[in-house]
Chains A and B, each alone.
Chain A
């Protein structure tokens, strides 16, 4: 081995030592980044429904800071003693160290020969591995363990909270639906749950459909009763004779008069207030102005027809009239297309729109555009 070969061997030794030290620094950075990632996930999931939950922006900034610390780990100040430590690990008899420190003289030839021998042996055995301090190794191992534990805990908490497996900022896949049942039922409504225990007299138990649920209101008010389409005239007597219940009779009578009222402008359904129907000018389900009042069937004009679609249209027509200030904007017989057009026109005011003005600084606008072109998702496609 020549002097030149010895120099090359020493430099290879130094580079090998350096790469191992850098690998340890890389492992330290990796452990730190994983620990930050795991703990950030855990904090974000644990505070999912809390006011203290970190925002997605802060989550990503913390993560980017941890990932971006790699240059700081790699280029952290190096100790000048590294070279000497590397040489001593490979050369226990100090032959290489003596040769390196000898600045020229009669013993150079001898020192060089001994150093070459030591370097050849080191090349065969492999250079000794630099061992970081026990504290440094403990910190790195501890960070890896912390990262693993926090990551697993974060995933368990994430799955339990409905976010699924979260590798990035946790987002709930299914929003919480809170159903708040209104306290609209009184105690009597429990009769609905257990109809057999309400203590209805046997005598009141008539034909199916006759019983009044929860005992509220009168049968005359039953605007939601199943309509019975029957012919005019002596049907009432016929129904009685055929043994129908009283409720059916009343429904038939109500519908009978309603059908007649459609043609004559008079109705017979009972009003919302529960006044009994009469055959006079103010009939049931319609006030003196001709406005239907019964729930689900209110409206005017053709809207009094027994159709929930028309009722919906009537409600909309009223809202539109309140909004536009014009009473008969849809006319008496609006077509479906016309209603659809007005619906679109009416509800456009509810659309949430954010007016973003142009950026004041043209430089910033140019930078944003450049960024989108260079690094936006569409740029990589």
Chain B
């Protein structure tokens, strides 16, 4: 193993560890914020409460993605490293799954792997894509970039809230399977877009 590859491996391990730690912090921040607004939401309709909680989670996730992009820009790392935020979201989903497993100790909790986890991961991938321009050296904050970030935030929030509200207020027997299929498709499309953007963009950009 050459010195360069050793350094690359160390850098990867460090990046994964930092992302995992950021995921724990993100989960804790989500819990704190949702707990803080819970009293004011207790008298509101349930759909509003669910939507607000989804909004809090997406806001904090977007904040983490922006912080990661600016950090990468300062460190001079390639923008594709922003995809490490997916690890942070996987950690968030794992902690959330653990709390659900503790509350509902049945194998039904495994449905969350298909229904809930891809929502977190897809949002993280989407934010990594749209915040990439902020991670590139020499590129400032353009109006178009900000609009793209805002639109992606609204899309992620709507998607997240829709699945939460449907599961809470209008469940039906096929919901877990249908939700899993939709979320997996959405995640696969976003992951492919990220791979093209950061792995094969030289081909797409030139021709």
Contact residues of A with B, CB < 8 Å? 6-7, 10-11, 14, 17-18, 21-22, 56-57, 60-61, 64-65, 67-69, 71-72, 74-80, 82-84, 86-87, 99-101, 103, 135, 168, 361-363, 366-368, 370-377, 379-381
B154-192 CB mask vs A (1 if < 8 Å, else 0) is 000000000000011101010110000000000100011
Partner of B80, one of A22, A77, A374: A77
Given A71-B187, A80-B80, A80-B201, the answer on whether A61 and B196 have CB atoms closer than 8 Å is: no
Docked CA distance A60–B105 (Å): 9
Minimum CB–CB distance for A341 against chain B, Å = 38
Contacts of B125 in A (CB 8 A): 71, 75
**Across the interface, do B98 and A375 meet the contact criterion of CB distance under 8 Å?**
no
B89-122 CB mask vs A (1 if < 8 Å, else 0) is 1100110011011111111111111010110010
**Across the interface, do A18 and B117 meet the contact criterion of CB distance under 8 Å?**
no
Minimum CB–CB distance for A97 against chain B, Å = 10
Minimum CB–CB distance for B127 against chain A, Å = 12
Docked CA distance A86–B195 (Å): 13
Q: How many residues of B contact A (CB 8 A)?
A: 64
**Across the interface, do A68 and B113 meet the contact criterion of CB distance under 8 Å?**
yes
Contacts of B118 in A (CB 8 A): 71
Contacts of A372 in B (CB 8 A): 104
**Across the interface, do A61 and B105 meet the contact criterion of CB distance under 8 Å?**
no
Contact residues of B with A, CB < 8 Å? 1, 15, 38, 41-42, 46, 49, 78, 80-84, 86-87, 89-90, 93-94, 97-98, 100-113, 115, 117-118, 121, 124-125, 128, 167-169, 171, 173, 175-176, 187, 191-192, 194-196, 198-204, 206-207
Given A68-B93, A362-B42, A363-B38, the answer on whether A377 and B101 have CB atoms closer than 8 Å is: no
Partner of B168, one of A17, A75, A367, A380: A367
Interface centre among A17, A101, A168, A363 (most CB of B within 10 A): A363
Docked CA distance A68–B118 (Å): 9
**Across the interface, do A83 and B202 meet the contact criterion of CB distance under 8 Å?**
yes
Contacts of A76 in B (CB 8 A): 83-84, 86-87
Contacts of B167 in A (CB 8 A): 370-371, 374-375
Partner of A374, one of B168, B199, B206: B168
